[in-house]
């Protein structure tokens, strides 16, 4: 049991944050959640603080007494970042800087959830030695967080671990290609609009596998290092469509928009060998994960 360990989660009310809170509580941690949005979790070992990561005083006060912080709070939409890059910069770059500054002052370990979009149009499969060349404002603001983690580690010795998440999906995620396709077919089973060409190829990792990574990184991640977090398998949108149609037993007319959104990286696959060396490997297949996601949407 880890009841003596107190950890903080920024973005605790979001998709990944909610799953992580429940898992840490199951593991015996004392958890302090920090988010703009209220949490639905009620537990004696969970303390919720409603706050903004741009509020430095409140952030520092809330982090006090925590041995570690999982920094999940972020603006996570590429299209929204394109529409309002300043807000994206404030939430992701400045917000991460604030978390790191508070961690420096309080001696906390930081597990930072970055993103695969920091690589931009990289060689595939992509390993962590690839140069960061984001093509979206979202990728740029998250890459700034990576670089600040490295700077705080090398300059001040702040204990930081960077996790570059690929496409996380599963129950609780009300955005992304899978949720979008299921909801469209729910509205009209005879027609399906697919954004892009259907040939976009990305790396999808199920939420339970992602939470496993976060816990392993907390215990075993090397300070000052970045790790890719994905399935290591690239799946096309057309393959996802086929899995979904097989689950629903539908044969709709399929239409493609022909283009995606600005800043979208249309091909991505993680080299996950570095993190697998810590003893982790993904367990949930794309077929099983989509089926579990459908059961959540249906219920």
Asked if 195 and 215 sit in the same domain, the reply is no
Looking at residue 1, its pLDDT comes to 42
265: its two tokens:
């990286």
Looking at residue 259, its pLDDT comes to 81
Looking at residue 4, its pLDDT comes to 61
**Per the domain annotation, does 149 fall within a domain?**
yes
**Per the domain annotation, does 274 fall within a domain?**
no
| Distance from C-alpha of 53 to C-alpha of 34, rounded to nearest angstrom | 8
- What CATH number is associated with residue 135? 3.40.50.720
Beta strand 68-71 with 191-194 is: unpaired
**Per the domain annotation, does 13 fall within a domain?**
yes
**Cβ neighbours of 216 (radius 10 Å):** 16
CA 169 to chain centre: 9
Q: pLDDT tens digits for 255-274?
A: 999 988 788 888 999 999 99
Residues of the chain scoring pLDDT < 70: 1-4
Asked if 22 and 39 sit in the same domain, the reply is yes
**Per the domain annotation, does 273 fall within a domain?**
no
* Total tally of structural domains belonging to the chain: 2
Q: What is the pTM of this model?
A: 0.96
- What CATH number is associated with residue 188? 3.90.25.10
Quickly list H helices, 5-136: 15-26, 56-63, 78-83, 85-89, 95-106
Asked if 197 and 208 sit in the same domain, the reply is no
**Per the domain annotation, does 289 fall within a domain?**
yes
| Maximum Cα–Cα distance across the chain | 59
Looking at residue 5, its pLDDT comes to 84
| Distance from C-alpha of 50 to C-alpha of 130, rounded to nearest angstrom | 37
Looking at residue 44, its pLDDT comes to 93
Asked if 195 and 220 sit in the same domain, the reply is no
Asked if 61 and 183 sit in the same domain, the reply is no
Asked if 141 and 12 sit in the same domain, the reply is yes
Asked if 191 and 109 sit in the same domain, the reply is no
**Per the domain annotation, does 145 fall within a domain?**
yes
Asked if 224 and 148 sit in the same domain, the reply is yes
**Per the domain annotation, does 1 fall within a domain?**
no
Question: Domain limits at 261?
Answer: 171-202+233-268+279-298
Burial pattern 35-54, b for ≥16 Cβ within 10 A else e, equals bbeebebeeeebebbebbbe
Q: pLDDT tens digits for 141-177?
A: 999 999 999 999 999 999 999 999 999 999 999 999 9
Asked if 127 and 12 sit in the same domain, the reply is yes
Asked if 188 and 214 sit in the same domain, the reply is no
Q: Which of 294, 77, 284, 35 is CA-nearest to residue 176? A: 77
Asked if 112 and 221 sit in the same domain, the reply is yes
Asked if 185 and 96 sit in the same domain, the reply is no
């Amino acid at each position: 049991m880890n009841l003596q360990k107190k950890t903080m989660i920024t973005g605790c009310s979001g998709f990944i944050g909610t799953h992580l809170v429940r898992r840490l509580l199951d593991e015996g941690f004392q958890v302090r959640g920090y988010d703009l949005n209220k949490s639905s979790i009620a537990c004696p070992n969970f303390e919720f603080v409603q706050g903004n990561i741009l509020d430095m005083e409140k952030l520092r006060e809330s982090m006090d007494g925590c041995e570690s912080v999982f920094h999940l709070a972020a603006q996570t939409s590429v299209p929204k970042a394109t529409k309002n890059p300043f807000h994206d910069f404030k939430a992701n770059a400045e917000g991460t800087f604030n978390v790191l500054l508070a961690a420096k002052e309080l001696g906390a370990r930081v597990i930072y959830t970055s993103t695969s979009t920091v690589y931009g149009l990289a060689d595939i499969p992509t390993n962590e030695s690839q140069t960061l060349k984001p093509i979206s404002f979202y990728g740029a603001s998250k890459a700034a967080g990576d670089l600040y983690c490295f700077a705080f580690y090398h300059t001040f010795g702040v204990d930081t671990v960077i996790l570059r998440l690929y496409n996380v999906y599963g129950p609780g995620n009300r955005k992304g290609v899978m949720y979008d396709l299921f909801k469209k077919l729910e509205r009209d089973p005879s027609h399906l609009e697919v954004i892009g060409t259907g040939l976009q190829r990305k790396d999808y990792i199920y939420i339970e596998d992602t939470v496993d990574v976060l816990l392993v990184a907390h215990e075993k991640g090397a300070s000052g290092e970045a790790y890719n977090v994905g399935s290591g398998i690239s799946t096309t949108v057309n393959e996802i469509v086929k899995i979904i149609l097989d689950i629903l037993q539908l044969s709709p007319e399929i239409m493609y928009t022909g283009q995606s959104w600005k800043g979208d990286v249309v091909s991505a696959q993680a080299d996950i060998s570095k993190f697998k060396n810590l003893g982790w490997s993904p367990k949930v297949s794309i077929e099983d994960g989509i089926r579990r996601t459908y059961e959540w949407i249906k219920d």
